[in-house]
Amino acid sequence: MFFSTHYAREILTLRFRNGEPWKKVFGPIFVYLNSISSDNEEILTLWTDAKEQMLIETENWPYDFPLSEDFILADQRGTVSGRLLVSDRYIDLLKSLLVFRQYGLWDCYTEIYTNGDLVYTIGSSNYQTDWFFAHVNRYTYKYVHKHLLPFRLFTLYALTDSSNYTLQLALASANDAELQIRINDQYADVPHFSTGSIGRDNMIARHGIHGLYRMYTVDIPSNFLASGTNVIFLKQSRGSSHWSGVMYDYIRLERPPSND
C-alpha cells in the first residue's frame, strides 16, 4: 500500500526511470501484539491494553533510535499550535432533510429530480438550492441512464462578431466519465467539446471534496450563439455504471474583451 493506485489509479502512480534518484522514508512501523492469559479474562482488555500502548508510542514519537540520516529526529522538527475552524455551508444545501455527510446523498439525484433533469438559469436560479453538486447518472431499478444538465446560461442582446466566448470548466473529481458540451442543440451528433474518457478517483461515492483536479478552457465562436436566450448542454455520456460521474468546482462563461 505504500505505492498504491487505489486513490486515483495509474495516473498518479510513481514512475522512476533512466536512473532518476528518488527516496522516501517509510516508518518506523510499529506492530503491537498482546494476549490474554486465560479464558476467564475479559477479551476487551486486549483493546484497552492496545489503546494504552498507542498513547505510550504517541508520546515517544518521533523515535530516537532510527539510524537513517533521512529520518528527522525530534530536535530537528518544529511544532504547530492553534485552532482550526471549519465551516460547512453544504449542511443545509438540499431541499430535503438529507444531510450532506449522509452516505449515498450523491446517489439521490433521481429521487430529487423525478420529473426531468436539472435546469439552471443564470439570473434566476440560486446555486444554494437549485444546483446538484455531482453530475451522476439517472437510474431506474435495473438500468443506468446518462442525463443532461441544461444550462439556460445567459441572454445576449449584442453579440461580439468574429470573437470567441470562453467557457472555463473546472472539475473537482471524475470517475469513468466523459463530459460532452453542446451549444443550443442537445441532439447534435458531434459535441462542441468532449473531455474524452477521464477519471478513476471515485471521490463522489467516497464523499470526498475533490479527487484529481481538471481544468478545461473551451472556446465558443460567436456564430454558435444567438441574440437572446442561449443554452449550454452538459452531458455525462458514459452510463455503464452508477459509479460514473463528475463533480464540478465551477463553471464560468467569459465574454470577449470589450473595445470600450
Neighbouring residues of 250: CB distance < 8 A, sequence distance ≥ 6: 168, 170
CA–CA gap between residue 153 and residue 164 (Å, rounded): 16
Task: Determine how many CB atoms are found less than 10 A away from the CB of residue 243.
Answer: 16
**pLDDT value at 240 more than 80:** no
What does the block give as the cell for 206? 467516497
My answer on whether omega of the bond before 66 falls inside 30° of 0, hence cis, is: no
Neighbouring residues of 99: CB distance < 8 A, sequence distance ≥ 6: 91, 105
Mean pLDDT within 16-29: 85
**pLDDT value at 124 more than 60:** yes
For 105-254, CATH number out of 2.60.40.10, 2.130.10.10, 2.60.120.260, 3.40.800.10 equals: 2.60.120.260
**pLDDT value at 115 more than 50:** yes
**pLDDT value at 198 more than 70:** yes
HSE-CB of 158 using CA atoms within 13 angstroms: 2
Tell me what pLDDT residue 126 has.
87
Q: What percent of the chain lies above the pLDDT cut of 90?
A: 25
Q: What percent of the chain lies above the pLDDT cut of 70?
A: 80
Output the pTM of the full model: 0.66
DSSP 142: S
Task: Select, from the ranges 9-18, 78-87, 135-144, the one with the highest average predicted confidence (pLDDT).
Answer: 78-87
Please give the residue that has the higher pLDDT: either 103 or 178: 178
**pLDDT value at 104 more than 60:** yes
Tell me what pLDDT residue 219 has.
94
Please give the residue that has the higher pLDDT: either 1 or 247: 247
Tell me what pLDDT residue 239 has.
74
Tell me what pLDDT residue 142 has.
54
**Structural domain boundaries of the chain?**
9-76, 105-254
